[in-house]
Structure 1
């Protein structure tokens, strides 16, 4: 049975503690990076995005448009910076566009 604490904790603190104890951080990071990509890149790019994967610190993004892939490849560093700012963590260090 779980221990009971008499002190009051905020829900945010309890959820953070639960995530750390159950080692769920990596899964939540994947979801946060996907949402960050959608927020940062907007509808124009999202229409051509077919797959987003985070493996380690590398973000793999599959695009259905070769022209868009080439155009985005020129701004990889800026995209990485914007995604990391959106998730408020240094999660992505490399971006591979497929």
Structure 2
């Protein structure tokens, strides 16, 4: 267990230390990517999205519509940039639509 600090610290610093000490950042990134996908893509795409997985730096998105999959494949780079911007750091380097 970590040593106790008697000085006052902002809660954001304490949470950051906790996340770093317990190596929780990868799990938080996975949650953040799912939230970013649902907010950025809107209801039209979310209705056809069946699964979202982030493994290493690749985002796997499973879609139930082949037409939508083909349409989204044309803008993969834009989608990656948009999601990374929403998250606030470069988490996704590759997008795979299934």
- Normalised by the length of structure 2, the TM-score is 0.97
Residues 37-79 of structure 1 deviation map (CA, whole Å, 9 limit, x = unaligned): 1111011100000000000000000000000000000000000
Question: SS where residue 5 of structure 2 aligns?
Answer: coil
- Give the superposed CA RMSD: 0.9
Partner of 1:4: 4
The residue that corresponds to 1:51 in the other structure is 51
Whole-angstrom distance in 2 between the partners of 1:63 and 1:87: 22
Query: Corresponding residue for 1:67?
Result: 67
The aligned residue for residue 19 of structure 2 is 19
Partner residue, 2:96? 96
Query: Structure 2: where are the runs of 5+ without partners?
Result: none
Partners of 1:4 and 1:17 lie apart in 2 by 13
The answer as to 2:85 corresponding to 1:81 is no
List 4+ stretches of structure 1 deviating above 2 A: none
- Structure-2 separation of matches of 1:70 and 1:52: 17
Q: Distance in 2 between matches of 1:47 and 1:12?
A: 35
Separation in 1 of the partners of 2:4 and 2:17?
14
